[in-house]
Amino acid sequence: MSIARIAGASLVAATVLGTPTGLYAETRFPGTGAHGDAGTDLKCPPGMFVIGLSGQTGGWIDNIRIRCGRLTAEGRAGADWISPPIGGTGGSYNNTQCPSGMAVNAVDIMLTDDDRQVLSITPTCYGVFNGSTGYPRGDRGFVAFGGVGQEADSGILIEDRPAKFPTSQACPGGELATGFSLRYGKHVNAAGLICNKIVTAEPTPVAAPAPPPPPPKPAKEVAGNARGPGSPTSISVGLFDLPYTSESSLGGKFDLKFQVVGAYTKPMRQHVTGILVNTDIGPQYNGTFDGTRPMSDPNTVTLTYDQPKANAHGTVVFHFSEDGETFVGDGMHMGTTPFKWTGRRKHSN
């Protein structure tokens, strides 16, 4: 989910970036660096653009992932997609990511002194809808994604070595970064930017006002648990028989289906499982839930979710209304991004 350093992206900026109906042939830059042991392309799913980089770094880039997403005039929409890692296993975690509403459209690639590894990749971010240029930031506060540089055998930095300059690669006007061509082995040895242009895009839909909720229905008792002090009085196995339609503040839309597995067990919690089906992008964001709800508060369900094809996961706590018709949730995506998740029960016509 990102855009170019060069001005003249009016074709893209005049539209809202959603699910594209077509793409031009991609623009590919030659890989900068050494040959390595193998090569591959690391590319975003259709309709998504590079919004950040993450992976393992030490003296240089040991492995790399791309983070992709869709863009709208309001910022990013839908769950981000993170690629599998390419490269070795050394180094420690590092990352950098564009501000919301911006995407990568250019990079500076710096190699190590012997040109055998990629030392760093410094992206430039572009604001599609306001034409601004910005720079990403990572957890360590750096713009660049990469290593800390090389040292001499004595452990002293080489200060008198010849100056090295990065190789700059910028998408043509109207194009965004969609991935990288890579050469790699135990490290990332070479990288080249891949760009693509949007032909058309769908405008951001304006949500219709939600219909008034139907009258509350009497709650069913949980099988195997007599009503009494501390027993659940609202959400039950029966009420989970109907699915929910939902939307997260990250932009993803999902149909959810829950199932209670068995009766309460010590420490008086009930096992809850479920599925989530993405309804606005594609099945790569489908996933599963697993968690519990306590007898002391049966309207609250604590869950983990897993989206294996998107290589994504997180946690969420859903708070259901007394009649089970609606819920609000507080989630944490990938352990770093807090979000809200709201839903309403789907009734058959």
- The pLDDT tens digits of the residues spanning 118-153 come to 999 999 998 877 788 888 988 888 889 998 754 333
What is the CATH architecture assignment of 239-345?
Beta Barrel (2.40)
On the question of pLDDT at 9 being above 50, the answer is no
Which SS3 state, helix, strand or coil, does residue 143 take?
Answer: coil
Q: Where are the domains of the chain?
A: 10-197, 239-345
In this prediction, residue 337 carries a pLDDT of: 81
- The pLDDT tens digits of the residues spanning 53-100 come to 999 999 999 999 999 988 766 666 555 789 999 999 999 999 999 988
Closest CA to 180 of 64, 34, 299: 64
Closest CA to 194 of 182, 174, 177: 177
Gap between the Cα atoms of 118 and 121, Å rounded: 8
43 C-beta neighbours (distance < 10 Å), count = 19
pTM for this model (two decimals) = 0.52
Rg of the chain on CA atoms, in Å: 24
- The pLDDT tens digits of the residues spanning 303-345 come to 989 888 877 888 899 998 988 889 999 988 887 788 899 999 9
Lowest mean pLDDT segment, chosen from 86-90, 174-178, 271-275: 271-275
In this prediction, residue 261 carries a pLDDT of: 74
Domain covering 10-197, topology: Vitelline Membrane Outer Layer Protein I, subunit A (2.100.10)
Which SS3 state, helix, strand or coil, does residue 315 take?
Answer: strand
In this prediction, residue 255 carries a pLDDT of: 92
On the question of pLDDT at 189 being above 70, the answer is yes
Which SS3 state, helix, strand or coil, does residue 65 take?
Answer: strand
